[in-house]
Every structure is written in structure tokens, then in C-alpha cells.
A = this chain, B = another copy of it.
């Protein structure tokens, strides 16, 4: 019975860890066996993808009054999804603040607040015009015209005629913008934690403006704006690559250029543990990100249809699998179920599923999440071994697992993809290596572009002295040295650990 195999796949990690934490080797063997069985099963079963099902719901039968309602419902749905994605800003802020030290907590909250404020304004003024050149306005050159329209009326052209001109694309421009701006802010804020505790605020703001105004929009234009990755057949439904790899690789570059925090590595290169100041805040952030992701993924369907429930369940599955795998991996490797690794595992699963969630079955989703939860733990340790100080694991969660998510689509996609690659299926569903190669190429293109552009950006900021605070300021903490007042009143802290 193949179903038994699958059930074991879903259940095993938690159950194993529980009953047998000492027999590491046996566990590891079992894990491989289960994965092997799951792969076999998947190769012989091709469940219908979300989009295929959604198409059965004939939207074209919704005409007249019904059609009007449908469009309103679409727009209300995406509006609430955008609100959920904006709520991820709270989640990011708490994860990053909680996993770093108390003396920089206000600085991190401020960076996240400004990522949202600047993200919304800059993405409106510049970024959106770059990201969607074909749809609403010309490329960089004609961004001026876009901005003119934005402020003088075309922003608000949500008349039935305007939507019909657009092929009855159901989304009104404003709500589409709001949803996309929230994504831009999310991409930007991923870096915040990686450079925590040692970055000048003015340098961070500059970075935030550039990434939301230029770097992220260019990457988005390649796929969602109809660019070369889209024509190639690359699949990235909700942005494992476009959003998370962009933020994640920028985080890597930021952490490398700015260098590790004082005292992170001993003179002989050994890493020193610098535990987060509040795991309760950090885990609250993880759970709020989990909630926000139900806007991120299902909202990427860009209309209210019957695919939304499926996208919701798959989002939950990926998160759950990632959380369990992160916990189990830290337990097996480190001897204890590490709390922040479980949290990072959940986020890793969520990041990884973004790409292929529109074309995956439940079992493909769970496999993607499980692998992400394993990968993120090894990546966090590996990055530290390379003497890169990424205090919250931003690169591992978003960069590495974002890339894994792209490849997972190449492995697990079924035959009903959404975004322009209608004939492709993943390697394990009989589609050959074609899609996998497309995904690899797309991932490498994003990685290369972000590494180069943010490399230039952070190096330039560094060379003009805008990137790193002085050792004295770092020791005092950025809350006081950059913002003039502490994140916690004196009675909340013992002086010893400052």
C-alpha cells in the first residue's frame, strides 16, 4: 500500500524524535528510507494541481450581475490578503528583534517600520513601474509617465471598462499595487536581521530605498512583469526566488561586507553563541509570519476562486513539515530540540513552497517543507563555519531555502502549472529535467544579479563610511548610539550583559 508509505512520511519526524532521541543513526537511516519510498510513490501518482481544479469552476459563467460581484469579491479578497502580508512586517520585526540582543531591539523595530514606510512610497514612485513594464507602463524610461498617471488618476481607474480593456483581469490596479508593495517591503526587511547590531541606520535606509526601488523590481520584472524568466517557463508562483532569494542573497552580501559583530568569532575563528534576547518575542514573530503567509501564498492566486482553499492547506502543510523537520534535525544533530531552529524550519518550509505551491500535490508540498526544514539547520551551521555572521539566519531561511523551493518545483510540479509553463511537469512526475533546469537557471540568475548589485551597493556604502558603526557605538548598542534612547528601560535589563 503506497498510502501507508505516505502516512509514515508525514508522521515520522515528530514521532521518531519523540520515542528515540538517542539512536541518531537509526533515525537517519529511517528518514532516508521514508523519503525514498515517498519519491517512488510520487513518481507513480499525479494528483491534480490547484489551478486545474480552479478552472473547473467556470468563471465565464459568471456574467451580468454575477460578473460584477465576482470582480468585487476578487478585489476584496486580495485586499485582505494584502493586509495579511503587511502583517508579516510585525512578524519579521519580532523574529529579528527577539533573536538578537536587547541593546539593538529598538533599532530593529525602527528598520522594519521604515522598510514598510519606505517600501510603500518608493515602490509606488519607482519600483512598481519597473516591476511591471508590460502591464501598466513602460520600462524605466517611462516611469515618469506612470508616476504622472499614478497621482493624477489612473491609479483609481477601476471602472468596468478599464478592467475589460485589460482582458477583464479581475484585479483593480490599487489593490494589486498594495499587494505587491507589501511583497517589496517583505523582501527588503529580510536583510534587517542579517546586519543587526552593527549597521548605521543611515546606511540601512539607503539600502532599503535601493532594494525596494530598483533591485527587487528588476528581479520581479523578469517573471511577474513578463520578462525573460517568464518566457523561459520558469515557475515562481508566490516568490521563493523573486522575493525570498532576493532578500536572502542581499542579506548574505550585507552580512559579508559589513563583517561579523564584535566578539562573534574568537581570534582563532571559533564562533561564540550570542543568544537572542527574547525567544518569546521571536516565536511570536514566527507564528505571525505563518499567519501572514496565508495572504502571501493564496493571495498570489490574484483572484478569489476555488484554488484558494487548496493553496491555504498546502501553505499549512509546508509550514508544519518545515517546523517538524527543523526541530527533528536540530535534535538529531545537536542533541536537543532547538526552539529557534524549529521556528526557522517553519519559515524555511513556507519560503520553499512559495514557488511551486500552484502546481504541487499535498505530498510534494510536505516533501518540499521537510527538506527545507532539514536544509535550513545545516545551512545556519555552515554559514557560521564560513565565519559569516547572520544573526537570525536570514540567508539560510530565505536565500538557501528560496533556491531549494525553485528546485523543488522542478522536482514535484504536476502537469497543470499556472504561470506560462503549461506543458511542464517536474522530474518526479514524468516531466523530465527541463523544468528543473529552467528553475536552476532562474535561481542562478536571481542569485547572480542580487549578489552583484547588492555587492556594489553595500561596498559603496562601506567605502563612504555609511555602513558600519564604530566599535564604541556597537558596544553601547544601536538603540542608544543611533537613536538616542534605549529599547528597554533600565529596570528591564541588568547592566552586566550590555
- Answer whether A109 and B280 are a contact pair too, CB < 8 Å, given A312-B174, A338-B485, A493-B492: yes
A168: CB under 8 A from chain B?
no
The reply on A470 being an interface residue by CB < 8 A is no
**A18-B306 CB under 8 A given contacts A73-B76, A87-B291, A490-B496:** no
Interface assignment of A25: CB less than 8 Å from any CB of chain B = no
**Residues of B with C-beta under 8 A to A10:** 121-122, 124-125
Whether A57 and B284, one on each chain, are in contact in the complex, defined by CB atoms closer than 8 angstroms, is: no
Q: Binary interface profile of A, 3-24, with partner B (CB < 8 Å = 1, else 0)?
A: 1101100110011011101000
Asked if A265 is at the interface of the complex by the 8 Å CB criterion, the answer is: no
> Is A374 interfacial (CB-CB < 8 Å)?
no
Contact of A150 with B362 in the complex, beta carbons under 8 Å: yes
Pick the residue among B15, B172, B361 that contacts A306 (CB under 8 A). B172
CA A286 to CA B14, docked complex, whole Å: 29
* A1 in contact (CB, < 8 A): yes
- Least Cβ distance of A370 to chain B in Å? 10
Residue A386 lies at the interface, judged by CB distance under 8 Å to chain B: no
Knowing A151-B361, A159-B53, A206-B18 are in contact, say whether A82-B337 is a contact too (CB < 8 A).
no
Report the minimal beta-carbon distance from A151 to chain B, rounded to whole angstroms: 5
The residue on B at minimum CB distance from A366 is B121
Q: Tell whether, in the assembled complex, residue A72 and residue B75 are in contact, meaning their CB atoms are under 8 Å apart.
A: no
* B310 near A158: Cβ-Cβ < 8 Å: yes
Chain B residues near A121 (CB-CB < 8 A): 10-11, 14, 317, 320-321, 324, 366
A151 touching B320, Cβ below 8 Å? no
Q: Are B335 and A484 in contact (CB-based, < 8 A)?
A: yes
Q: A21 → chain B, closest Cβ, in Å? A: 7
**0/1 interface trace, chain A 137-149, chain B, CB 8 Å (1 if under):** 0000000110110
Residues A73 and B73 in contact, CB atoms below 8 Å apart:
yes
Asked if A421 lies at the interface with its beta carbon under 8 angstroms from chain B, I say no
B181 contacts A312, C-beta separation under 8 Å: no
A278 to B53 Cα, complex, angstroms: 47
A11→B206 CA distance, assembly (Å): 12
Compute how far the CA of A201 lies from the CA of B338 in the bound complex, rounded to whole angstroms. 11
Q: Which residues of B contact A125 (CB under 8 A)?
A: 7, 10-11
Cβ of A39 within 8 Å of any chain B Cβ, yes or no, is no
Q: Is A354 an interface residue (CB 8 A)?
A: no
Contact of A178 among B316, B340, B491 (CB under 8 A): B316
Given A45-B152, A178-B309, A277-B489, verify A158-B53 contact (CB < 8 Å).
yes
**CB-based contact B491/A338 at 8 Å:** no
Q: Is the C-beta of A79 less than 8 angstroms from some C-beta in chain B?
A: yes
For A124, the chain B residues whose CB sits under 8 A away are 10, 317, 362
* Interface-centre pick from A48, A284, A287 (highest chain B CB count, 10 A): A287
Docked-complex contact A320 and B485, CB < 8 angstroms: no
9 A-B pairs closest in CB distance: A491-B497, A65-B66, A175-B309, A109-B283, A3-B148, A336-B484, A117-B323, A106-B279, A174-B309
